[in-house]
Amino acid sequence: LETANANRPATTPEPRRLFPGHVAPSSCLLPLPRRILAMQATAPSAQSSLPKTTMPTKICCIGAGYVGGPTSSVIALKAGAHVVVTVVDLNEKRIAAWNSDDLPIYEPGLDEIVKQCRGTNLFFSTDVKTAIREADLIFVSVNTPTKSYGLGKGCAADVKYIESCARSIAEAAEASKIVIEKSTVPSGTAQTLKA
């Protein structure tokens, strides 16, 4: 065993193989202490010139359904009073229900969370354009039912509501926004939103 190791150069360890035929990248071949030193040498310093990021303080959630309402309520609770969360929906009855004591959705403990945050840093509205314009971060939490027409009928997700949200954001936004898909969507939908 010692003679086999003596023939191998000391600086080139055996490549790690995760499965037959796999060869690890060359960065994984360095002995651990040298690899850590190399990472430290290339890491940005504490005095980095990178711009400092700020946390969003105004959040808009488009869609007051089973995903948007509860998610936004918990964000409002956990983020604190300095973060304002506005849930918007075109369905006036749904928004009225969120603003009442009889919530449209049951989740254990949700009614207490909504009662605690509503009117303080959690708001429900039908004014989609204003909420988009004022928000730093936008969650898109709209329905993606199975297509009932065209290619993919009966099996593919219908992303027309996602596309509608993208158009609404593009029309109402006056500055750059962070947009997060919070709906069950097919792979590649982010490209649709980006376009």
Structure confidence by residue, pLDDT tens digits, 153-186? 888 888 888 889 989 999 999 999 999 888 777 7
Q: What is the DSSP string of 125-175?
A: ES-HHHHHHH-SEEEE----PBP-SSTTTTTSB--HHHHHHHHHHHHH-SS
Report residue 190's pLDDT band, with 50, 70 and 90 as the boundaries: confident
**What pTM, to 2 d.p., does this model score?**
0.70
Contact 145, 104 (CB under 8 A): no
Give Cβ neighbours of residue 12 (< 8 Å, ≥ 6 apart): 29
Greater confidence, 55 or 185?
55
pLDDT for position 107: 94
Contact 178, 160 (CB under 8 A): no
pLDDT for position 137: 95
CA distance 66 to 69: 6
Q: How many other C-beta atoms can be found within 10 angstroms of the C-beta atom of residue 66?
A: 13
